[in-house]
């Protein structure tokens, strides 16, 4: 899909769910739902289609929204009886075999007083939550940061309702792993394990704010409250009308659930090295105002993200033509669901230096289904203080296709070769010899140079909800049997 068509496709894909939520938000702004409005919206919720996993989760959120908005004048037993048709619809979906779906089902049944068997929570020893650990689709055997945070909040609520301290310990362990993804400024790797069409800045920040607030209240680790403070500063720039009303309701519910209850779980500080090679082929580095994250794991996602002060390279990854058609973007390598499946990955981390090296495949540009292609990419990244260098080499198992390394950059302006000035959302673009480029935001400057042979492209983007919020796309050709060097400083 061309870049210009992305915005329209996303809008139509979510119109039905947004319409339902807007209707609820409008009624609640009138203070609360009346019994009549409550019953009417149960009927509307019952009519929501459930034909996919996405539909199922949307239905569960709508169901839970109604439960949380039940009229104060209606007694609990009557409210439960009124919601019974939705329980029947929930149970009629068929087999629910993925983590978030299982957790929603368990939470809703627990909330309404039904008997629920032991809640199973699948994660690695380091606490990494996988989209579909052990499921059919290999592309789902990677972390889901947003789904993970939502699932952990639901599991945390179940822990409180059932006084399950063993499960609470697992929840906090996984929350610690989420904690390690954020740097001291509250920034996080937006594109690692998160595909472009899944990204929502509001969901990332809002869900983690609730999660870290919950974790602060039930654990003894100050790191959660420190991260919460940094995230709240970032949230000042979020447009509140873009935050799902469901999340706002759920935050209030969690807060009320913990009031007057003594829920606590002791947890040791997490070893910063424990979530790297063995689990995800992932490494992180920070120095002053520079933050770098690298990985060889993913499926249609990036292998690196970088921040220098207010300028972000939100995504770095391989991209086949045409540019902006995101099914042609990203690496593809998933964990083999066993320990130390990334033995080729080398990571050296010192206070003022960093080295990362490993292999990953590119996606298959010819397939209609997200799958690995026939090109390997050797990713080497080194950092010395604030200078970061990538050395990238492609190895083709079949006839080579044109391939670029693309950096999605969030900045206020780009200056190419000290001559060409580009602004976000502009129709002007650059295509010509690869040369030094400066990105600026206020007083902050990021310099990019490369060894690329051939034409470099810089395409201004609109930022906001698309391409992980980037305002520029910079593409550098990478050729077989050559090493592409990219330097950021």
Identify whether 264 is part of a domain. Answer: no
Sign of CA dihedral 288, 289, 290, 292: positive
Digit-coded pLDDT (tens) for 151-176: 999 999 999 988 888 888 888 888 98
How many domains does the structure of the chain reveal? 2
CATH code, domain with 379 = 2.70.98.90
Higher pLDDT, 78 or 422: 422
Range of the domain at 146: 3-258
**Residue at a domain's end among 209, 226, 258:** 258
- Kindly state whether residues 101 and 207 are assigned to the same domain: yes
Digit-coded pLDDT (tens) for 231-248: 888 787 777 666 778 888
With a cut of 90, say whether residue 9 has pLDDT above it: no
With a cut of 70, say whether residue 19 has pLDDT above it: no
- Kindly state whether residues 319 and 346 are assigned to the same domain: yes
Identify whether 265 is part of a domain. Answer: no
What is the pLDDT, as a whole number, of residue 6?
A: 39
Most confident of 50-54, 94-98, 136-140, 278-282: 50-54
Higher pLDDT, 376 or 44: 376
- Kindly state whether residues 63 and 207 are assigned to the same domain: yes
Identify whether 286 is part of a domain. Answer: yes
d(CA 341, CA 310): 35
Higher pLDDT, 409 or 138: 409
- Kindly state whether residues 160 and 290 are assigned to the same domain: no
Higher pLDDT, 41 or 125: 41
- Kindly state whether residues 282 and 250 are assigned to the same domain: no
With a cut of 70, say whether residue 377 has pLDDT above it: yes
Identify whether 217 is part of a domain. Answer: yes
- Kindly state whether residues 439 and 329 are assigned to the same domain: yes
- Kindly state whether residues 253 and 284 are assigned to the same domain: no
Contact (CB, 8 A) for 285 and 382: no
pLDDT tier, 286 (very low <50, low <70, confident <90, very high otherwise): very high
pLDDT tier, 478 (very low <50, low <70, confident <90, very high otherwise): very high
What is the pLDDT, as a whole number, of residue 174?
A: 87
Q: Which residues pair with 129 in a beta bridge?
A: 123
d(CA 365, CA 418): 35
Most confident of 73-77, 187-191, 381-385: 381-385
């Amino acid at each position: 899909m061309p870049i210009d068509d992305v915005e329209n496709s996303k809008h139509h894909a979510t119109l039905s769910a947004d319409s339902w939520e807007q209707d609820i938000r409008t009624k609640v702004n009138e203070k609360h739902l009346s019994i009549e409005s409550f019953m009417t919206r149960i009927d509307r919720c019952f009519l929501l289609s459930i034909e996919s996993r996405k539909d199922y989760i949307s239905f569960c959120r709508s169901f839970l929204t109604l439960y949380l908005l039940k009229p104060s004048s209606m007694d609990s037993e009557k409210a439960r009886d009124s919601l019974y048709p939705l329980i029947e619809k929930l149970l009629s979906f068929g087999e629910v075999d993925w983590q978030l779906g299982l957790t929603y089902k368990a939470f809703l049944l627990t909330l309404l007083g039904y008997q629920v068997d032991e809640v199973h929570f699948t994660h690695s020893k380091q606490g990494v939550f996988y989209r579909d650990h052990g499921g059919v689709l290999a592309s789902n055997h990677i972390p889901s940061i947003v789904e993970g945070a939502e699932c952990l909040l639901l599991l945390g609520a179940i822990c409180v309702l059932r006084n399950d301290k063993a499960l609470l310990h697992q929840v906090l362990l996984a929350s610690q792993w989420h904690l390690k993804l954020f740097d001291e400024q509250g920034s996080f790797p937006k594109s690692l394990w998160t595909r472009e069409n899944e990204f929502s800045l509001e969901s990332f920040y809002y869900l983690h704010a609730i999660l870290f607030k919950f974790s602060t209240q039930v654990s003894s680790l100050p790191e959660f409250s420190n991260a919460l403070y940094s995230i709240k500063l970032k949230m000042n720039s979020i447009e509140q009308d873009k935050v799902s009303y469901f999340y706002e309701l759920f935050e209030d519910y969690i807060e009320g659930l913990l009031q007057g209850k003594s829920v606590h779980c002791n947890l040791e500080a997490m070893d910063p090295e424990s979530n790297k090679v063995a689990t995800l082929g992932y490494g992180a580095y920070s120095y002053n105002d520079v933050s770098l994250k690298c990985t060889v794991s993913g499926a249609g996602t990036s292998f690196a993200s970088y921040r220098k002060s207010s300028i972000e390279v939100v995504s770095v990854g391989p991209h086949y033509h045409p540019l902006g058609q995101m099914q042609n973007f990203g690496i593809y390598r998933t964990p083999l669901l066993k320990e130390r499946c990334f033995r080729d990955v080398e990571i050296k981390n010192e206070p003022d230096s960093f080295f990362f090296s490993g292999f990953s495949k590119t996606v298959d540009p010819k397939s209609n289904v997200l799958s690995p292609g026939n090109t390997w990419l050797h990713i080497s990244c080194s950092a010395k203080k604030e200078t970061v260098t990538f050395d990238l080499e492609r190895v083709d198992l079949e006839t080579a296709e044109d391939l670029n390394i693309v950096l999605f950059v969030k900045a206020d302006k780009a200056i190419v070769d000290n001559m060409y000035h580009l602004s976000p959302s502009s129709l002007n673009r650059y295509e010509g010899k690869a040369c030094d480029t400066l990105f600026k935001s206020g007083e902050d400057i990021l310099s990019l140079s490369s060894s690329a042979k051939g034409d470099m492209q810089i395409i201004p983007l609109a930022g906001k909800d698309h391409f992980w919020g980037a305002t520029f796309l910079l593409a550098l050709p990478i050729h077989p049997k050559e090493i592409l060097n990219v330097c950021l400083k």
